[in-house]
Amino acid sequence: MRRTYLGEFEEVVLLMVAILDGEGYGVTVSQALEEHTGRIVTFGTVHNTLIRLEEKGFVRSELGGATTERGGRRKRLFRVTALGSRALQEIQQLRQDLWQLLPPNTLRLGGV
Amino acid sequence: MQQTPPRWAHWLLTQLHPDNTLEEVEGDLDELYTYWYRRAGPTQAALRYLLNVVSVLPPFVLRRSNNKQQYEQPTNMAMLSNYLKIAWRNIVLNKAFSTINILGLALGMACSLLIFLWIQDELRVDNYHANGPQLYNVLERQFYDGKIRTGKGTPGLLPDELKKLFPEIVYAAGFTGSDAQLTFAVGDKAVKETGRWAGADWFNMYSIPLLAGTAETALNAPNNLAISRKVAATYFDTPQQAIGKSIRIDNNRDYQVTAVFEDLPDHASTKYDFLLNWQDCLERNSWMKEWGNNGPRTRIMLRPDANVANLEAKMRFLMRKLDKKLNPKQFDIQLFLQPYQEAYLYSNFENGQQSGGRIEYVRLFGIVAVFLLLIACINFMNLATARSARRAREVGVRKVIGARRGLLIGQFVGEALLLTVLALGIALALVFLLLPAFNLLTGKHVSLNLTDNTFWLILLGMTFLTGIVAGSYPALFLSSLNPVRVLKGSLKFGSGARLFRQGLVVFQFGLSMLLIVGTIVVYRQVNYIQTKNLGFDRENLIYVPADGELGTKYETFKAELQQMPGIQAVSYMGELPINLGSSTGGVTWTGKDPNVNIQFTQTSVGYDFVKTLKVKVKGRDFSKDFSTDTTNYLINEAALQRIGYKDPIGQPLTMWQRPGKIVGVIEDFHFQSLHDPIQPLILRLAPNATQTNILVRTQSGQTSQAMASLESLAKRMNPKFPFSYQFADAEYENLYKSESMVGELANYFAFLAIFISCLGLFGLAAFTAEQRTKEIGVRKVLGASVSNIVGLLSQDFLKLVLIAIVISSPMAWYVMNRWLQNFSYKIGIEWWVFAIAGLLAIGIALLTVSFQSIKAALMNPVKSLRSE
C-alpha cells in the first residue's frame, strides 16, 4: 500500500486549505483552525505543516496577493493538489469503510 | 488602522528566519498582530506576536527547500564571477609566480607614480598665475666675436621704455637677477632678509595675494617696501599693523612698508621675502641706467589679443635705436620674448636658440618611468606565456564549451588587470611610505593629493595601460590554441613563443644595462665635479658679506682678524669666486683688432687676493707697495690668450678708459659653472671693501677656532648687523644640486630596474628548471655532475644577457655622451664602464639563475624519475 502517511494535524490543515479554496495562507488557515476546531496553535506549527504538506506534494503554492495591511508583502497562497484531494478522499473512504464495520450499539453504549 | 508590532521582535524575525520564506511569514505575522490587537489589546497582541515569532525561528521552523528547482539562467554576471574565481585560484595556486608578478608590477608602478608626481610638480612651477599666458620675459641675443650668446640680463631702463613704445604691453617691470641679502632693523631687532627689486607693475602682473596694501601702490615710490607674511611676522604683530611702519635697511636708509604679500608658494621658481622699488634699484646701481649695461631682468605682460610674433618683430632691433653706442658690426643685440611659464623648464639656449634645460630631466625621468613599468610588464608576459601549458587545458575546455576567442582574450586581459590592481594598491602604499624620503632627495614638497582628478585619471590610465600591455601577449597566445590538439594532450609549443620570450629578456636586460651605465657615468661626472681642482682651494674658505662697519673699517677688521687664531689670510672680492657673472667689452690693448668685440669677465678684488684664494700667479699680486696698482690689472691665462701679448707682465691694458698695466697672470681657475669653458677674466683693485664679500682663508683643521674669532670680531665691530657667512665648498656643491639629485635618483632607478628584471629571470629560471626535471634526472643518473647541470641551465640565460649587453652598450654610450655634452669639463666614457656594467648585469643574472639551477641540480633523480 503505497500511501504517504498523513498525520492528524496535517489532515486538518489540508482540509482547511481545501475549504478556503485558493484563499488559504498562513493567517487564514490558522484563523480557520481556531474558528472551526477551537484549537489555538502557534503560527510556526501551521507554517511548518504547510511546508511539509507541500514537500509531500499535497498542496502547491504560489506567491501573490500583496496588500497594504501586511506592508505590501506577498502571501504564499496554497491550493490542494490532485494528490492531496485523493489523499483526503481516501482517508474519508477508509473511515466510512471502517464505520461500516462497526458492530451496532458499540459506540452508543459508551458514547452517551 | 495599521498597528506595528514590537520592533525588536520584528528585528529578531528578520535576522533569524530563513530568507526564502521571510517575506510571507513577516506579512502573515503582521496581519495576525493587527487581528490580535483588535481582539485582545496591545499587551496580548505583543505577547502573542513574540510567541509566534519564536515559533518560526530556528530550530523550530522548517526550511523550505527550493525543490521546485528553477534552473537559473546563467547571466553575464555568473560568467564574470567565474572568471574572477578562476583568476583568484590561479593567483593563490602559484604563490611564487604571483608574488613575483605583483611585486615587480608594484615596484614599477610605485616608481612611475613617484616620477609622475615629480613631473607634475615640475610642470606646475610658475604655472599658477592668473595672467600666466600673457606673461613674457624679454631676453637678449648678443652677437659678438663670431658667437651668439643668449642672456637674461637687459638694461635697467628697458621695461619702462617698452611699455611706452608698444601698446600691446599692458605692464612691464624690471626685476633684479640675483638675491640680495639685506639687514632689516626695527627697533633692536635686526635680521638678514633675502629679496629683490622689482618694477611698480609687479603685483599687477603676478598673482601674489596681498594681505595688506594694494597692488597699485605697493612699489610705486622709491622708499616703498613690500614684505612677505613671514617677514611681517618677524617684526610686527599682524600684516595690517606692518603697513606704514618703517624698516631701516642696512643701517642707512628707512623704507616704508606699503604692502604685505603672502609667502611665495612652493611652486615659485624664484622666492623672495621682500621687494624694493625699481627707482631705488636704479639709484643704488647707476650703471643700470646706461643702455650699454645689461643686468636686471625685464618682465612684461601683453594684452590678451596681442600678436606675439608681430611684437617680437617690432622689438627685435630696438636696442640699436636705444643704445647710441651700439655698433652692430662689433656687437649686436636682438631682443626676443620667452613665455614666462616656459622659462623655468626651458632655460638653456645655444646659438640663440632654445636648447632644453630642466625639461630634459623631466623627459628623461618620464622615459625611465615608462622603462621601469615596461620591465615589470615583461616579467608578467614572460611568466604567463612560460606557464601557458598549464592553462592550455582550461582554454581547450572553455573553447569546446563554446567560448569565443574574444571572450578568452577578455578573460586573460582581465586577469592581468586584476593583478595590476592588486599591484597598484601595494604601489600606492609604497609611494605613501617613500614620499618623505623622495621629497628630501629632490628638495620638493610633493604630496599624494587624493582630491586631484588628474592624479586619479593617471592612476586609472596607468593601471589600464599596464594591465593591457602585460596581458595582451599571453591573452593572444593562449586564446589562439587549438582545442583539439590541447585536449589530446600532445601540446607542443613552437619555437616562436620561446624566441619571443628570449627577446623580451634581452630587451629587459638591455634597458637595465642602459640604466646601469647611465648611473655610473652620472655618478662619475658628479664626483668629478665635486672633487675637481678648480684652480683655487675651496676648502677652508669662508665668505662674509662686508656689511656696514665691516666694509667701511675693513682695514682694522683685517688687521685684527689676522692676529686671531685659525686665520691664514683675508681679502675681499666684488662677487663670489665660484660665480662671477659680470662681463664687459670695454677693454683695449695695444694691437687690438678694432672690429672684434671680446667679452671679458671682470670683477674687483682686494689686496692679498692671490694668497687668500690660493691661485697660482706669474708676476705678482696687487700690493700696497705699488701705489699705481689701483689702476693695474690681473688677468687669467684665457684672457692672455685672447690679448696675445708675448711677455705680458708690465704691458699696458685699458679697461673702461682707465689705462693701467698687467701686473700678473693667474693660472686659469673655474669661476663659473663647469658647464661652460673658462672665460677670459680681468681683475681690478677695488678702492674699498663696501658692497663686497670678505674672503677668509682659515687654517685647515682649525675651522671652529676661526669661526669663533670671526664671529666675535664681527659682532664687536658691527653690532648693527647679524653675523652671516657661507662656506665656499658648500656653496660650490649647491651649484650642482640638480646633477647630484639626478645622480642619486639614477642610482635608485638602476637598482630597481635590475631588481625587477631579476625577479622575472628568477621566475623564468624556476619554470625552466621545473620543466626540465626529468631531463636533469636522466643526466644525473648517467653521471652528470652538479656543476655540469648548473652550467647547462645557466648558459641559456647568460647568452641572453650577453646579447643584451652587446646591443645596449652603443646605445648607452650615445645617450650618455649627449648628456656629457652639457659640460665643458667632463669625464670620458671609458670602456671599463661598460665592462663593469656588463659584469654587474651578468653577475646578478647568474646569481639569480644559479639559485634555481643549483636547487634543480641537487635534486635526487630517484624522485624526479620515479613516477610516470
- For the segment A8-17, what is each residue's pLDDT rounded down to a tens digit? 899 999 999 9
Residues on chain A touching B56 (C-beta within 8 angstroms): 43-44, 47
CB contacts of A29 in chain B (<8 Å) are none
Which pLDDT value is given to residue A111?
Answer: 46
User: B201 vs B153, B170, B172, B274, CA distance in Å?
Assistant: 19, 9, 6, 15
Best probe of the A interface among B10, B14, B23, by most A CBs < 10 A, is: B23
**Mean pLDDT score, B699-725:** 84
B5 to chain A: closest CA residue: A70
User: pLDDT tens-digit profile of B800-815?
Assistant: 889 999 999 999 899 8
Best CA proximity match to A46, nearest among A62, A59, A27:
A27
The b/e string for B220-242 (b: 16+ C-beta within 10 A; e otherwise) is beeebbbbbbebbeebbeebeeb
| B569 Cβ contact list (under 8 Å, min separation 6) | B562, B608, B611, B612, B696, B697
Asked if the model's pLDDT at residue B287 lies above 90, the reply is no
Contact between B848 and B762 (Cβ < 8 Å): yes
pTM: 0.71
Q: Say how many domains are in chain A.
A: 1
Chain B CB contacts of A65 under 8 Å are none
> A-chain residues within 8 Å CB-CB of B23?
63, 73-74
Q: Which residues of A touch B26 (CB under 8 A)?
A: 70-71, 73
Partnered with residue B652 across adjacent β-strands are B661
Q: Average pLDDT of B319-347?
A: 86
Of the candidates A82, A94, A90, the one whose C-alpha atom is nearest the C-alpha of residue A18 is A82
- Give the residue from B17, B44, B56 with the most A CB atoms within 10 Å of its CB, the best one to mutate: B56
Angle at B748 between CA B746 and CA B750, to 5 degrees: 65
HEC states along B174-227? EECCCCEEEEEEECCEEEEEEEEEECCCHHHHCCCCEEECCCCCCCCCCCEEEE
A45 contacts B26? CB cut-off 8 A:
no
State residue A81 phi and psi, 5-degree precision.
-85, 175
Q: Taking CB atoms and an 8 Å limit, are A42 and B34 in contact across chains?
A: no
Distances (CA, A) of A52 to B418, B543, B774: 47, 101, 61
State the Cα–Cα distance between residues B585 and B656, nearest whole angstrom.
9
Domain containing A28 equals 8-103
Nearest to B518 by CA among B825, B222, B811, B793: B811
Average pLDDT, integer, range A92-111 = 78
Beta bridge partners of B542: B696, B727
CB–CB contact B31 A45 (8 Å): no
Sequence-separated (6 or more) residues with CB below 8 Å from residue A111: none
pLDDT at position B142 is 86
| Residue contact A69–B34, C-beta within 8 A | yes
**Span B702-707, mean pLDDT?**
84
Q: Which of A31, A55, A74 sits opposite B24 (nearest CB)?
A: A74
Q: pLDDT tens digits, residue range B398-447?
A: 888 888 888 888 888 888 888 899 999 999 999 999 999 888 888 888 88
Neighboring chain B residues of A52 at a CB cutoff of 8 Å: 62
| pLDDT for B686 beyond 80 | yes
Of residues B23, B32, B65, nearest to A73 (C-beta): B23
Task: Identify the bridge partners of residue B247 per DSSP, sorted by sequence position.
Answer: B255
Is A68 inside a domain boundary?
yes
Reduced to 3 states, what is the DSSP secondary structure of residue B660?
A: strand
**C-alpha to C-alpha distance for B214 and B808, rounded to whole angstroms:** 60
Residue A110 has pLDDT above 60, yes or no: no
% of chain B residues with pLDDT over 90: 10
Q: How far is B406 from chain A (nearest CA, A)?
A: 42
pLDDT tens figures, B458-514: 889 988 988 888 888 888 888 888 888 878 766 666 677 778 888 888 888 888 888
- Provide the pLDDT confidence category of residue A3 given band limits of 50, 70 and 90: low
Q: Which residues of A touch B (CB under 8 A)?
A: 25-27, 30-31, 42-45, 47-48, 51-52, 54-55, 63, 66, 68-71, 73-76
Determine the pLDDT at residue B67. 53
Instruction: Find the length of chain A.
Output: 112
CA-based nearest residue in chain B for residue A67: B27
Contact B56 A52 (CB under 8 A): no
Of A25, A48, A51, the CB nearest to B28: A25
Shortest distance between the Cα of B79 and any Cα of chain A, in A, equals 30
Interface test with B, best of A47, A55, A67, A68 (most B CBs within 10 A): A47
Let me know if B741 is exposed, middle or buried by CB neighbors in 10 A (0-12, 13-18, 19+). Answer: middle
Residue with cell 617680437: B312
C-alpha cell at B97: 609566480
Q: How far is A44 from chain B (nearest CA, A)?
A: 5
Would residue A44 count as lying in a domain? yes
Which residues of chain B make contact with A27, given a CB cutoff of 8 A? Answer: 28, 31-32, 35
pLDDT of residue A109: 54
Point out the least confidently predicted range of B202-216, B224-238, B785-799: B785-799
Q: Dihedrals φ, ψ of B490, to 5°?
A: -100, 55
Under the banding of pLDDT at 50, 70 and 90, the label for residue B174 is very high
* Distance (Å, whole) CA B260 – CA B65: 79
8 Å CB contact between B693 and B575: yes
pLDDT band at B793 (very low <50, low <70, confident <90, very high): confident
Q: How far is it, in rounded angstroms, from Cα B792 to Cα B788?
A: 6
CB atoms within 10 A of CB B750: 24
What residues of B are in the A interface, CB distance below 8 Å?
A: 2, 21, 23-32, 34-35, 51-52, 54-57, 60-65, 67
Whether the predicted pLDDT of B449 surpasses 80: no
Q: Could you give the ipTM of this predicted complex? A: 0.87
**Band of residue B338 on the pLDDT scale cut at 50, 70, 90:** very high
The tens digit of pLDDT for each residue in B545-562 reads 888 788 888 888 888 888
Q: At residue B385, does pLDDT exceed 60?
A: yes
Summarize the confidence of residues B679-683 as an average pLDDT: 89
Kindly state the DSSP code that residue B628 receives in the 8-state scheme: G
Cβ neighbourhood burial of B702 (10 Å; 0-12, 13-18, 19+): middle
pLDDT digits (tens, 9 = 90+) for B618-640: 888 888 888 888 888 989 888 88
The phi, psi pair for B631, rounded to 5°, reads -115, 10
* CB-closest option in B32, B62, B65 to A43: B32
8 Å CB contact between B539 and B729:
yes
Helix, strand or coil, per DSSP, at residue B750? helix
- Vertex B337 angle, CA B332 and B343, to 5°: 115
B103 CA: distance to closest CA in chain A (Å): 52
Which residue of B lies nearest to A64 if distances are taken between CA atoms? B24
Residue of B nearest to A68 (CA): B2
Residue B287 DSSP symbol: G
Q: What is the spatial distance between Cα B377 and Cα B109, in angstroms, rounded to a whole number?
A: 10
CB–CB of A69 and B35 under 8 A?
A: no
Tell me the average pLDDT of chain B: 85
> Which of A42, A45, A47 has the CB atom closest to B25's CB atom?
A47
Does B59 sit behind a cis peptide bond, omega within 30 degrees of 0 on the bond before it? yes
Identity of the residue in B30, B54, B61 whose CB atom sits nearest the CB atom of A70: B30
- Per-residue model confidence (pLDDT) at position A2: 45
Q: Is B278 helix (H, G, I), strand (E, B) or coil?
A: helix
Let me know if residue A3 belongs to a domain.
no
Determine the pLDDT at residue B489. Answer: 67
Question: Would you say how long chain B is, in residues?
Answer: 868
Exposure letters B821-830 (e unless 16+ CB within 10 A, then b): eebebbeebe
How sure is the predictor about B136, in pLDDT bands with cuts at 50, 70 and 90? Answer: very high
**Which triple of cell numbers denotes residue B36?**
490580535
Tell me which chain A residues have a C-beta less than 8 angstroms from the C-beta of B62.
47-48, 51-52
CA distance B391 to B474: 11
Residue spans per domain, chain B: 1-71, 132-344, 360-529+737-866, 541-734
d(CA B790, CA B851): 9
Chain A residue closest in CA terms to B22: A73
User: Contact B228/B218 with Cβ under 8 angstroms?
Assistant: no
* Collapsed DSSP state (helix, strand, coil) of residue B736: coil
pLDDT band at A1 (very low <50, low <70, confident <90, very high): very low
> Residue B68 pLDDT more than 60?
no
End-to-end CA distance of chain B: 79
Confidence of residue B69 (pLDDT cuts 50, 70, 90): low
How far off is chain B from A75, nearest CA to CA, in Å? 5
All residues of chain B having their beta carbon less than 8 Å from the beta carbon of residue A70 are 26-28, 30-31
Q: What tens digit of pLDDT does each residue of A37-68 get? A: 888 889 999 999 998 898 888 999 888 877 77
**What are the pLDDT digits (tens) for A17-33?**
999 988 899 899 999 99
pLDDT band for position B272 (50/70/90)? very high
Query: Which cell is B635 given?
Result: 688677468
